Structure 1
């Protein structure tokens, strides 16, 4: 019985990680398709909408700073349980209606998302050291499918229930299911795990390059999670059509999110992957904003592929640039705390640029500048080196 349970544990743990990963994006991607309905019902202006898409990303960054503390106090396994429970609470809170529950719930859910994002890379390195690329790709793919579900089903749910807030609150249910499913894995931390004191990385240039790449490529994704449906509706698509394109963008992330980490983990150098994916992101956003709407669906799928590949590549680089499990958690905490704080400025800047100019040209130019900065960071982050060495 014991040996059978031990043999099944990696499979069950892997499934548990996938359930947690599924809930790391719907709280973020479900808002964009409903943003016009929220603004109509609550009187939320353009600046308020920009803050609604920015504050959760900032909360993700703040939560990431607590990763090492949570590992020492609770252990990574119990930390994941706490994180996904907070996602469930925050997502459900949005169902109460009104701006206060919406903002508070969004920030709470984002806090749980940020905490789980720091803990999962270390768990993968600890539990699946020989399959880092495969497991990173799998949970990134499932994460992208969760993003697609949030983008694609939120408008139909709102219309079926005649309530945007109830539709947002329903996303607390899959997070609650993941919380219950993770309970068997919430074991006590090993004394050695709690005793680890991680080396500071703030003076390590490579750590900063990884942080810059992670934050800037995430900024591109969060810009599009929050603003792509609005852009498409301004071009003439209705809310359902715009949500469908956003959902396809998220679905398009899945195959790239699976394949890019698997191939990149085997390569000696990840710089070419970063350059190709960033170029694809720039070309497809230009096509969506300025090209014919007849090509919105294929452009959306390709844009999603670039974003999914970049996110999977960023997570893979974190694991590859670390020498051990503790180093992976440390680098994940730094790159995601600082990185997501940096990423939070993207949606805000994108929205403010539109508000100031009345068009999308300046906003798209900002997107391209962020992509160029991410490429510059990838020149260092993609090298075959590890943090803490020269």
Structure 2
């Protein structure tokens, strides 16, 4: 994927630029809703499928594994097909995957979950590269809007689930919404096929970053922030409940994680794009995240809303910074896609162990203290990785490094 103009392919074409913005944001809105909508409907879905709690947990664990496995394949796909076509196919597969999760057959539900997770993984990797290709002079703003839309889609999936269930007395209605929505979004992507300068290159070159230290620092930053977010999203309600809060208080605190992150999803990438290096943002993110976890470890019932808000600010800022690094540390769209693929592949595989590891530590020790200490230690590791990633450098592909040594 290449862009001929420093202002992108839409220079002097505000209407098509607006359409491209809408297409990107609509794609982002589909990347979490179809996954998280099943959470509030757990009892209804388990009853319909007649499955255990552990069997149901596969519906949330498998997508993370798909993120890790499929992400690494995306650069290979972009060397064979234009990213616009891959985005359209990805939206179609999301629709199919969600549709299969509506049937009363657990095997087909699992197949749908695998398709859904794989399609989301492809779009997860593609969108940062498309942001750089479509809007190279507005990467901060567009990355911020992408991050906000990603969080908003997740929030909408959870928020609408119970009202739609109560309105129609059928759990399939809120789930089916996320099968129809991607198909409508494809209408905005069809004009993108004709955009010149963004597509499969005539002589595609494989970009490998596996020997680049900067790429690995971004990968670890992405992985540790994902480990942190999915661990907190999974276990914070139970931690607060076991500490003495009632279900309403624990639910309200947990909801704040997504709510308070939204403005930081938008603002952090904008500030990051204007900075020579992003170390101040990395440090600030560490301080609020560490304080939030430390508060839960020290006295969870003292100020649960404050602790949850700090955790949410840290999660939102860290995700936005990771997404920003994909674009800011790459010289071109191919590098941005390769970096996004590497970081999300390793990152989500690491994140998949987060909830499992903390749950296992809770079962072994009978309390959450050591699990929270682990999160505090990993925050230090995330700070170190982010500190290195925030330097004003670009990643160096392995092939460029080899040519430099030969000279």
> Is the TM value for this pair above 0.5?
yes
Shorter-chain TM range is: 0.7 to 0.9
Q: Rate the CA distance shift 1:318–1:295 in 2: closer, same or farther, 3 A.
A: same
Other structure's SS at 1:344 match: helix
Residues 1:22 and 2:42 aligned together: no
How far residue 214 of structure 1 moved from its aligned partner, in angstroms, is 1.0
Shifted more, 160-169 versus 360-369: the winner is 160-169
Between the two proteins, the alignment pairs up a number of residues equal to 386
Q: How does 1:117-136 map to 2 (within 5 A)?
A: 117-136=124-143
Q: Distance in 2 between matches of 1:165 and 1:261?
A: 36
Q: How does 1:1-390 map to 2 (within 5 A)?
A: 6-35=13-42, 42=50, 44-45=52-53, 48=55, 51-97=58-104, 99-164=106-171, 166-187=173-194, 193=201, 195-234=203-242, 235-238=244-247, 242-288=250-296, 291=299, 293=301, 295-388=303-396
Unpaired segments ≥5 residues, structure 1: none
Q: Distance in 2 between matches of 1:233 and 1:167?
A: 27
Q: Distance in 2 between matches of 1:52 and 1:201?
A: 32
Q: Distance in 1 between matches of 2:345 and 2:386?
A: 18
Q: Rate the CA distance shift 1:257–1:102 in 2: closer, same or farther, 3 A.
A: same
Between Structure 1 and Structure 2, which shows a larger proportion of helix residues? 1
How far residue 63 of structure 1 moved from its aligned partner, in angstroms, is 1.7
8 Å contact from structure 2 (residues 207, 334) kept in 1:
no
Q: Rate the CA distance shift 1:5–1:380 in 2: closer, same or farther, 3 A.
A: closer
Q: Distance in 1 between matches of 2:219 and 2:316?
A: 18
How far residue 287 of structure 1 moved from its aligned partner, in angstroms, is 3.8
How far residue 188 of structure 1 moved from its aligned partner, in angstroms, is 8.2
8 Å contact from structure 1 (residues 95, 169) kept in 2:
yes
Q: Rate the CA distance shift 1:89–1:314 in 2: closer, same or farther, 3 A.
A: same
Q: Rate the CA distance shift 1:51–1:281 in 2: closer, same or farther, 3 A.
A: farther
Q: Distance in 2 between matches of 1:287 and 1:153?
A: 31
TM normalised by structure 1 equals 0.87
How far residue 109 of structure 1 moved from its aligned partner, in angstroms, is 1.9
Q: Distance in 2 between matches of 1:199 and 1:230?
A: 43
Write out per-residue CA displacement over residues 292-311 of structure 1, whole angstroms, 9 at most, x where no aligned residue: 55844444333222211111
In structure 1, the residue matched to 2:405 is none
Unpaired segments ≥5 residues, structure 2: 1-9, 402-407
Larger Rg: 2
8 Å contact from structure 1 (residues 54, 347) kept in 2:
no
8 Å contact from structure 2 (residues 66, 117) kept in 1:
yes
How far residue 257 of structure 1 moved from its aligned partner, in angstroms, is 0.7
Other structure's SS at 2:262 match: helix
